[in-house]
Structure 1
């Protein structure tokens, strides 16, 4: 796999780890709140994140040195 993909995955893991590392109580409340949301809303939110990620990746790969 391309090195850029691995670097992007590493960055995502670092960013995902910052929440529970520095704000464990707020992170726990966020997760508990998300468990109460309807599945349909979570599907839409997840789909929106995927689309945003693909758009950003395509923009960077067309105009950057990725």
Structure 2
């Protein structure tokens, strides 16, 4: 079980690292735009992503 979690975490790190590695300038502009969004919008987006992730995880298990 722990091994599977560590593998999943490693895959997330690889996927998250591809953007900044290959498209550093665009990634920087994206983060600048993201940092200027209202806090409530960021929280709502985060909540939606967490909900989608949890539903997906429950469906796959």
Aligned mates of 2:52, 2:25 — CA distance in 1 = 28
Aligned mates of 2:35, 2:58 — CA distance in 1 = 32
1:5-62 deviations in Å (ceiling 9; x for gaps): 222211111111000000000000000000100000000111111111111111111x
Give the root-mean-square deviation of aligned CA atoms.
1.2
Partner of 1:46: 46
Structure 2: where are the runs of 5+ without partners?
none
TM-score for both structures, normalised by structure 1: 0.83
- What secondary structure, in the 3-state scheme, does the structure 2 residue paired with 1:37 have? coil
1 or 2 for the larger relative contact order (CA 8 Å, sep ≥6)?
Answer: 1
